Amino acid sequence: MARLIDAGPGCPTPTPLRGTAVAEETGLAYDESVKAKTDHLYPLVSDFITPMEWPAVAPLVAAINDLKAEKNAVILAHNYMTPDIFRLVGDFRGDSLQLAREAANVDADIIVQAGVHFMAETSKILAPSKTVLISSLEAGCSLASSITGQDVRLIKERYPNYPVVTYVNTTADVKAECHITCTSSNAAQVVEAIAKEWNSDTVILVPDQYLAKNVAAQTDIRIMTWPGACEVHELFSADDVEALREAHPGVVILAHPECPPDVLESADFAGSTAALANYVKDESPAKVVLLTECSMSDNVAAENPGVDFVRPCNLCPHMKRITLENILECLTEMQHEVTIEESVRVKAKAAIDAMLALPKMENPLAFETGLAPMEIEVISPS
Ligand code: 13P
Ligand code: SF4
């Protein structure tokens, strides 16, 4: 079994404490029918859910899976979902790029996005005929809220000769104003492709200044950016990496490219959430730390029982808004439907399609680590 090693100050987990009271409140009982539907699922989460908690969780899982079948719904679950959602009710799991590709092709009437709001918007942009639901309207993202469509219009007025790439962590309004989207799986590929198409030596990559700086270190293209940041990943520092190496000799340190550049400089490997999961699977390091959101370690640990995980945990409060309880409620009530004005959707789709039309890579692109951080121009919002 993978060992989860707590490596320092924990973070408050807003996941509601479950007990039989929850099941009673929802009118769901842990009866023979629920047991028959869920007994085989418990081993998938037994490292995270105690036998005492399971009678409260199992009825929710059974009810959600029944409703999905009844309503022809699928759940797209991001790698940052808690293991109960990720492993027990998620139909498709992955990073932002994988979930966007699934949304474009999925054969269902309803998509429930187990992720944050911009991900649900991406699904709606790509699958307009489907009903897209998100179980909490509070599941935002500090990157998505750092920039508006009007900001991008002003950027384009100021720099009309440079293509504007938006990280997929933005609203539909922002995507609609940009020339192409990228994710952390393909950012360098997108930047180089759009620079070539525009015959430009400079590309504007918004809104994540750290992702942009990390991409700049990987390419000869000049990159300008925007002062946005992920509130989870910006908390990691090179000092953390040093402290982890001291406390856990031999630990392999993996980082998400939303981390500041000095973190990538001192990490052993960097990439999207899917790239990090692939690394652990392929390399089976004895002891590993993922410098990213907390639940990622839970989910990757569950699939790699021989690997020990050190966990300097930073939690995304937005991702944690999504719970089994509110997924059940949103599917039951068909509430929190994501809608996008058609003129915006069509323009945003063009930016996503431009990304999806690039040659599909077999694996997400890794970010080279050990590179000196690059200073790049950060566009002032005023
Ligand atoms: P990925 O595309 O790597 O899954 O990242 C999404 C995200 O929000 C990371 O914070
Ligand atoms: Fe946004 Fe950061 Fe949360 Fe990802 S981890 S959803 S980038 S706030």
pLDDT in tens, 280-310: 999 999 999 999 998 999 999 999 999 999 9
Domain boundaries, the chain: 13-140+319-333, 144-231+341-361+374-378, 233-311
**Model confidence over 141-197: pLDDT tens digits?**
999 999 999 999 999 999 999 999 999 999 999 999 999 999 999 999 999 999 999
Lowest mean pLDDT among 6-20, 65-79, 274-288, 289-303: 6-20
- Tell me, in angstroms, the distance from the centre of ligand 1 to residue 338's CA: 20
Percent of the chain with pLDDT over 70: 93
Q: Are 376 and 212 in contact (CB under 8 A)?
A: yes
Domain 13-140+319-333 has CATH 3.40.50.10800: yes
User: Which atom in ligand 1 lies closest to the alpha carbon of residue 96?
Assistant: 2
- Tell me, in angstroms, the distance from the centre of ligand 2 to residue 97's CA: 14
Pick the closest to residue 41 from 59, 20, 14, 23 (CA basis): 59
User: Which atom in ligand 1 lies closest to the alpha carbon of residue 273?
Assistant: 3
pTM over cut 0.85: yes
Pick the closest to residue 56 from 20, 85, 108, 109 (CA basis): 20
- Which architecture does CATH list for 233-311? 3-Layer(aba) Sandwich (3.40)
pLDDT confidence of residue 3: 47
Pick the closest to residue 42 from 23, 62, 25 (CA basis): 62
The CATH class of 144-231+341-361+374-378 is alpha beta
Q: Average pLDDT, whole number, for the chain?
A: 92
Q: What is the mean pLDDT of residues 10-34?
A: 63
pLDDT confidence of residue 346: 98
1: pLDDT confidence band, cut at 50, 70 and 90? very low
317: pLDDT confidence band, cut at 50, 70 and 90? very high
DSSP 221: S
pLDDT at 11 over 90: no
Same CATH topology for 13-140+319-333 and 233-311: the answer is: yes
CB within 8 Å of 382: residues ≥ 6 apart: none
pLDDT at 26 over 80: no
- Tell me, in angstroms, the distance from the centre of ligand 2 to residue 159's CA: 28
Residues having CB closer than 6 A to ligand 1 are 79, 95-96, 169, 183-184, 230, 258, 272-273
The span from the CA of 77 to the CA of 324, in Å, is 12
Best mutation site among 97, 122, 232, 295 for ligand 2, i.e. most ligand atoms within 8 A of its Cβ? 232
